[in-house]
Structure 1
Amino acid sequence: MSRRKTQTEESAPLIDAELEIPSLTASHSSSESLFSSMSDDEGRDLINTLPPELIMKIMSFLDVVSLCRCAQVSKAWYSLALDGSNWQRVDLFNFQRDVTDEVVEGLAHRCRGFLRVLNLDGCRSVETHSIVRLAKSCNLIQELILKGCVKVTDRALKYIANNCPNLQLLDLSEGPVVTDRGCAYLSKGVQTLHHLYLAWCTSITTIGLRSICSSCRELRSLNLKGCDQLDADALKSIGMHCPRLQRLNLAHCSFVVDSSVTAIANGCHALEYLCLSQCGSITGHSLKSLGLNCPELRTLEVAECSFLADEGFIFLSEHCPKLTHMDLEECELITDETLRAFSTNCPSLQQLSLSYCHSITDSGIARLAHPSSATGSLRVLELDNCPQITDDSVSTFMDMPSLERVELYDCIQISRDTVTRLQEERPQLIVHIYFPPTILPEAGVPPRRRRCRCCNCVVL
């Protein structure tokens, strides 16, 4: 008991600094209601009658805010609420503007080996030295989210790699100062990494990605969105060294070509999610490679891939029957033939985006809604800016009982009356559409005359 008291007293300055976060200490209404429920009719504190182990168990269900408020009740509650065992999962996303290095160091000092998950998403004030201390103190951490921590450098990754051997998830997205050197540190120290997010880490090149893929062969998820310093050879290393990969995001990677997708498909047969949006160079050959090698594929996002056409999607649907989500926005070459293939081959399809697919017509939508269609589980359908979609499609939605939301922005042939009738028949169906106001000119009012500023002549 004396040992716990000594540790609490030593960590008090750092904990007090954390409790000064305004968003954590501004309101006490919820804690007051909690405290009042723990008193009997005579005002006695019932919680003090419980064994310390049971009190700790109760507090283990509280979130960060509640624990910090409990710590302000009394010295006894302070000791119990701030015990490291209650701080195994800490999410500071909602307090990102208030989180400083002092707060992170306070957490590291208190939690030590208890901390398993820490979310610092958007905490832009956090710097390398506090992450270094965190890595040294909390060496059993399993998930660390540093997304948007723009001041965290490769030095922090060195200490994470050397001190956190159990790390399974690391999010470094939007880290502009993370380089290939940081990737090299990770490849040597955290080879059991399962989930790695490097979106918009624009300083990472092919060298860094190769070092990670060659060592971290247990990767399940990899996000490389916006990493424009990579090249096609970098993606080949993914196919060679990451056979268990299930989720891959390559959006906004302009270097992706058909040979890159083929290399990934040949090596990553367990792939379930693939995002290739804004990879404008890929063609139907990529879809055929995925169809031949990735039978577990469930989600495919290929928005703005303008070279993809019906042939590729028909082949994919025939070989990937587990597809549930398809984003085909601005794939302008596809026609109703793609929808006919989906209606025949994709019984699990739940969400389909066809926005800006100008060749889609009412016939294709009717095929999706046909009683014999395999797409009976479709819940979300996006048709923004599809100029050939008319009121006939809106009427068809009444025959799609599983449909929960439909997007119809800028579908110029759809009338307000038909949408109103649909909403009356299907009040639970969410319909997103915009009708511009119609303002008629006032009768008998002549147009206003304007004068040229140069010659002062009247302009009609």
Structure 2
Amino acid sequence: QLQRCNGEMTIEKLPDKVLQEIFSYLSPYQVLLVGQVCRRWKSIANSPSLWQYVSFRPNYGGIQVTNQDYFMHLIGTRFTELRVTELATDLITPNILHEMAAKCPRLYALTLDFSTAMQLHDFTDLQNFPSRLHSLTICLSENIFLEGFLRKVYTFISSVEVLHIIGTYEKVEDEEEEVYETVNVHKLKQYMPNIRVVNLWGVPFITDDHVDAISSNCAHLECLCINYCTKVTGSCLRLVLQRCRKLRSLHLAHATLDDKVMQTIEWEKTRIEELNICGTELSSDTLKLIVTRLKNLT
């Protein structure tokens, strides 16, 4: 209970556990600020339980890390209960990934942002990587190939069920500009036997052949997103829907879908409950045909 001081309730009298509960509603940046109020608040603000969901991508509202050595120290003290985190390009290093693998056993969702990378770190000595991930997000660079890095982590990602690959759609200004296949999506998927969700957003090199390859031996797939993958015409969908019997959510927004191809698909035999085909310029006849055949649409 709150104690009274001069007839008024004061925040100084709140127990540490109550203050910690209050701080849990603050953003990581706000927790840093309240930690500057006094020594007691700083001690509470440093509690690992307040640092379970943290982004270190300053371009997207995350915390800016200016001292990597001190950051590595914090991984083993303040961030031991980390569950969800996002790393900017300069923080994706062998040492930091090794520390997270060793000191953050509860980490289940990891975002690796390579989108601003001009050059990768040397991952030759990378021997460890978080191995209990449920979700992995990779933000691609326009011209940095990730195979050298991924080759080191393939054996650690078998637990991943949700894969997000964020492409460079928003950066491509010229449609005829040369596009590089900066990640081997099919090979990456092979090391994720339990994958349920695949989200390829705005990946400029993704074609129907890639989607077809991804769907092979992917019996647990429930959600497939290929929004803004403009090289996808839909020719892969017939086989994808036959292979992935559990597929319920299909997102094809702004793909270059072909009317004739979409009309030949046996939609009535699928379990699709959610379909996104906005911005695809399909004809009204095709839209009517698809919608009327989808028995499970919600």
Category of TM-score, reference length = shorter chain: 0.7 to 0.9
**What is the distance in 2 between the residues matched to 1:178 and 1:323?**
42
Match of 2:91 among 138, 145, 152: 152
- Is there any run of 5+ residues in structure 1 with no aligned partner, and where? 1-36, 90-114, 350-460
**Conservation of the 8 A alpha-carbon contact between 2:48 and 2:82:** no
Look up the match of 1:413. none
Look up the match of 1:206. 147
Shift of 1:261: 1.3
**What is the distance in 1 between the residues matched to 2:124 and 2:54?**
21
Match of 1:191 among 131, 136, 140: 131
For each residue in 1:13-38, what CA deviation from the matched residue of structure 2 results, as whole angstroms up to 9, or x when unmatched?
xxxxxxxxxxxxxxxxxxxxxxxx95
- Larger RCO, structure (CA 8 Å, separation 6 or more): 2
Match of 1:221 among 150, 162, 166: 162
Look up the match of 2:215. 265
**Conservation of the 8 A alpha-carbon contact between 1:295 and 1:319:** no
**What is the distance in 2 between the residues matched to 1:150 and 1:144?**
13
Look up the match of 1:56. 17
Match of 1:284 among 234, 238, 258: 234
For each residue in 1:426-451, what CA deviation from the matched residue of structure 2 results, as whole angstroms up to 9, or x when unmatched?
xxxxxxxxxxxxxxxxxxxxxxxxxx
- Sequence identity, in percent? 17
Look up the match of 2:175. none
**What is the distance in 1 between the residues matched to 2:33 and 2:101?**
31
Change (3 A) 1:219 1:270: same
Look up the match of 2:289. 340
Structure 2 matches for 1:438-453, cutoff 5 A?
none
Look up the match of 1:43. 7
Establish whether residue 303 from structure 1 lines up as the match of residue 253 from structure 2: yes
Structure 2 matches for 1:408-419, cutoff 5 A?
none
**What is the distance in 2 between the residues matched to 1:80 and 1:305?**
51
Shift of 1:217: 0.7
Shift of 1:44: 4.7
TM-score by length of 2: 0.73
Change (3 A) 1:170 1:87: same
Structure 2 matches for 1:3-402, cutoff 5 A?
42-45=6-9, 52=15, 55-57=16-18, 59-62=20-23, 63-64=25-26, 65=30, 69=34, 72=37, 78-79=39-40, 82-83=43-44, 88-89=49-50, 115-122=51-58, 123=62, 125-127=64-66, 128-137=68-77, 138-146=79-87, 149-155=88-94, 156-173=96-113, 174-176=115-117, 179=120, 181-182=122-123, 185=126, 188-202=128-142, 203-226=144-167, 229-230=180-181, 234-312=184-262, 315=265, 317-329=267-279, 331-349=280-298
Look up the match of 1:16. none
Shift of 1:118: 1.9
**Conservation of the 8 A alpha-carbon contact between 2:272 and 2:297:** yes
Count of aligned residue pairs for this structure pair: 276
**What is the distance in 2 between the residues matched to 1:69 and 1:180?**
35
**What is the distance in 2 between the residues matched to 1:139 and 1:88?**
8
**Conservation of the 8 A alpha-carbon contact between 1:194 and 1:218:** yes
For each residue in 1:396-450, what CA deviation from the matched residue of structure 2 results, as whole angstroms up to 9, or x when unmatched?
xxxxxxxxxxxxxxxxxxxxxxxxxxxxxxxxxxxxxxxxxxxxxxxxxxxxxxx
Shift of 1:219: 0.9
4+ runs deviating over 6 angstroms: 46-50
**What is the distance in 2 between the residues matched to 1:323 and 1:184?**
45
**Conservation of the 8 A alpha-carbon contact between 2:221 and 2:246:** yes
**Conservation of the 8 A alpha-carbon contact between 2:145 and 2:182:** no
Task: Between 173-182 and 277-286, report the one with greater CA deviation.
Answer: 173-182
**What is the distance in 1 between the residues matched to 2:153 and 2:135?**
12
**Conservation of the 8 A alpha-carbon contact between 1:310 and 1:338:** no
User: Larger Rg: 1 or 2?
Assistant: 1
Q: Which has the higher helix share?
A: 1
Change (3 A) 1:291 1:197: same
